[in-house]
């Protein structure tokens, strides 16, 4: 282990240990913390599936609920009383009106993640709309041009509100009936985790976002908000799973052992060709679409398989049932989608238009510090020492599956570090970059995740309002393209994206680990 790292960690322990100990000894919220009281809250409802058609209006309300996790009642947040919120199914090409009311205890918005909406309804505070304060409402007009699975969540204090349950799916049904293969049922799964301390959800400060070094990892796994998720299907059923990662920072390697999983789609639709997989990696906010034929009865586990550990997330009970049909399952080649990319293929090998580096600055980012921060600008001690030392522990991991920084991560804030998107051409950072494009531009973008930064780790990079193709990783061409809105860039990797700038307005690109976004890792760009 790096000697300087040990010194830094010791400083952190000395400066913050007493505070952390006293905070963990009581479940009573301290001054400035969000309340954990559940006295007036109702229990969550069962999730609804809502089928909307073009022109429909739907009411969506965020509120406080009390939910049992690990046998303890805890305060959480829900849309229309359920975690996840309602599964909203709409046909491709439809336009709906979403009337949002905020009855939660924090300012909020609705961001329709991955949906190429009109800019003014993108839900980004201070860029496309004002925050919706508790007790207030806002009406969104949403258009759904693309088939696929999308999701809705806040874009204010996501580290708190999304962590406590504010998330739900949009399922956009294709306009062509054979877009997907025939299945017997569809299931939407949200993968998540939550941090429990002393029998309660770890506290959140109202004014200071912590865990900014790595993001807030949970120690309790959830599927659709449940720590004991169970699904029952009949033997012989073909099931399409729409899987969304709603965790703040945890990357999942999703698998259902002892089945043949067929990967058919991702964020914004189907792959060029379906393929058999043993597992699939899903970064925060990414989606993957999987089909399974359960031809044998029995119990199947939903797991997260990492290099060090396998976590059981839930179980699928396949009820014994006579199987009268044997399906000849062959991964399809989606020639219609392959043909649709023909006009873009000449752009694949063009020079890079824009280049970004993902990196980290440790120590205070400016001379001012936030007095409400638990550690403020003193967390890292000697700034110069921090700037000249790479904070690593042995070999660098491509993906950090767990929190290996402990107290240092828990007590880090935006005043003790700064996560950066750096424009390589101009050396401008984050909100100072200011890219501008014209509607119709096809932009080739290169993004490098700096493995020499103070704490290298993976970043799920999300681009609002547009869609993109991942052309290559580390120079190796991607031979199975799919439209994306988020891609997980692993430590040390360089990816090339081809972004269609088709949607005018003021948009953002950011890391979808909310604690990293709060610590600076976001930039604005314009499409005019």
The model carries a pTM of 0.91
Q: How confident is the model at residue 365 (pLDDT cuts 50, 70, 90)?
A: low
Number of folded domains in the chain?
3
3-state percent helix, strand, coil for the chain, nearest multiple of 5 = 10, 40, 50
User: DSSP E strands: which ranges in 86-237?
Assistant: 87-91, 95-103, 111-113, 137-143, 148-153, 168-173, 185-194, 196-197, 200-201, 220-223, 229-234
Look up the domain containing 225 and give its range.
186-339
Residue 33 lies in a domain: no
Q: What is the pLDDT of residue 37?
A: 86
Residue 167 lies in a domain: yes
Cβ-contact 277, 289 below 8 angstroms:
no
DSSP code of residue 42: B
Q: What is the pLDDT of residues 305-346, one digit of tens each?
A: 998 899 999 999 999 988 877 776 789 999 999 999 999 999
Look at residue 364 and tell me whether its pLDDT is greater than 90. no
Other Cβ atoms closer than 10 A to 440: 10
Q: What is the pLDDT of residue 4?
A: 46
The CATH number of whichever domain residue 294 belongs to comes to 2.60.40.420
* Least trusted range by pLDDT, from 146-160, 262-276, 322-336, 404-418: 322-336
Residue 25 lies in a domain: no
241 and 355 in a single domain? The answer is no
294 and 349 in a single domain? The answer is no
Residue 38 lies in a domain: no
Q: What is the mean pLDDT of the chain?
A: 90
Q: How confident is the model at residue 357 (pLDDT cuts 50, 70, 90)?
A: very high
Look at residue 491 and tell me whether its pLDDT is greater than 90. yes
Q: Who's near 35: CB < 8 A, 6+ residues apart?
A: 29, 75, 105
Q: What is the pLDDT of residues 70-79, one digit of tens each?
A: 999 999 999 9
Q: What is the pLDDT of residues 77-117, one digit of tens each?
A: 999 999 999 999 999 999 999 999 999 999 999 999 999 99
Look at residue 134 and tell me whether its pLDDT is greater than 80. yes
Q: What is the pLDDT of residue 377?
A: 35
Q: Which of 316, 339, 362 is the last residue of a domain?
A: 339
Residue 54 lies in a domain: yes
Q: What is the pLDDT of residues 169-189, one digit of tens each?
A: 999 999 999 999 999 999 999
Residue 486 tokens, joined: 């988020």
Round to whole Å and give the CA distance between 500 and 280. Answer: 26
Q: How confident is the model at residue 376 (pLDDT cuts 50, 70, 90)?
A: very low
Residue 435 lies in a domain: yes
Q: Which of 339, 358, 378 is the last residue of a domain?
A: 339
498 and 350 in a single domain? The answer is yes
Residue 170 lies in a domain: yes
Look at residue 6 and tell me whether its pLDDT is greater than 70. no
């Amino acid at each position: 282990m790096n000697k300087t790292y040990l010194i830094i960690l010791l400083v952190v322990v000395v400066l913050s240990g007493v505070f952390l100990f006293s905070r963990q000894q009581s479940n009573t919220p301290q001054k400035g913390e969000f309340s954990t009281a559940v006295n007036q809250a109702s229990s969550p409802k069962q999730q609804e599936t809502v089928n909307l058609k073009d022109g429909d209006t739907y009411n969506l309300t965020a509120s406080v609920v009390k939910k049992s996790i690990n046998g303890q009642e805890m305060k959480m947040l829900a849309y229309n009383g359920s975690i996840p919120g309602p599964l909203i199914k709409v046909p491709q090409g439809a336009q709906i009106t979403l009337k949002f009311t905020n009855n939660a205890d924090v300012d909020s918005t609705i961001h329709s993640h991955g949906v190429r909406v009109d800019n003014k309804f993108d839900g980004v505070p201070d860029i496309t709309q004002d925050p919706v304060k508790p007790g207030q409402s806002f009406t969104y007009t949403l258009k759904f041009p693309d088939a696929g699975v999308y999701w809705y969540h806040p874009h204010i204090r996501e580290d708190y509100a999304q962590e406590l349950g504010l998330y739900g799916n949009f399922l956009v049904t294709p306009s062509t009936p054979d877009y997907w293969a025939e299945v017997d049922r569809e299931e939407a799964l949200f993968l998540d985790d939550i941090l429990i301390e002393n029998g309660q959800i770890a506290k959140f400060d109202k004014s200071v976002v912590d865990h900014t070094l790595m993001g807030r990892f949970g120690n309790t796994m959830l599927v659709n908000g449940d720590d004991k998720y169970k699904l029952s299907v009949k033997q012989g059923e073909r099931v399409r799973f729409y899987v969304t990662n709603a965790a703040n920072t945890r990357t999942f390697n999703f698998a259902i052992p002892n089945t043949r999983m067929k990967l058919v789609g991702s964020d914004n639709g189907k792959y060029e060709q379906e393929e058999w997989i043993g597992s699939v990696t899903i970064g925060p906010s990414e989606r993957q679409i999987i089909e399974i034929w359960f031809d044998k009865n029995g119990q199947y586990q939903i797991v997260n398989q990492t290099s060090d550990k396998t976590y059981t997330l839930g179980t699928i009970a396949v009820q014994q049932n006579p199987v009268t049909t044997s399906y000849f399952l062959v991964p399809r080649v989606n020639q219609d989608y392959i043909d649709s990319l023909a006009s873009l293929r000449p752009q694949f090998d063009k020079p890079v238009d824009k280049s970004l580096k993902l990196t980290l600055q440790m120590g205070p980012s400016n001379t001012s510090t936030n007095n409400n921060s638990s550690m403020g600008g003193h967390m890292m001690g000697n700034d110069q020492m921090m700037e000249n030392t790479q904070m690593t522990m042995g070999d660098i991991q491509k993906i950090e599956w767990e929190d290996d920084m402990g107290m240092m991560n828990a007590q880090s804030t935006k005043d003790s570090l700064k996560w950066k998107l750096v424009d390589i051409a101009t050396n401008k950072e984050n909100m100072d970059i200011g890219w501008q494009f014209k509607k119709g531009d096809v932009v080739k973008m290169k993004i490098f995740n700096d493995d020499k930064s103070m704490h290298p780790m993976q970043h799920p990079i999300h681009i609002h309002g547009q869609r993109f193709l991942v052309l290559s990783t580390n120079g190796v061409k991607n031979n199975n393209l799919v439209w994306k809105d988020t891609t997980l860039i692993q430590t040390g990797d360089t990816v090339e994206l081809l972004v269609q700038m088709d949607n005018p307005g003021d948009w953002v690109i950011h890391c979808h680990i909310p604690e990293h976004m709060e610590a600076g890792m976001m930039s604005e760009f314009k499409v005019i």
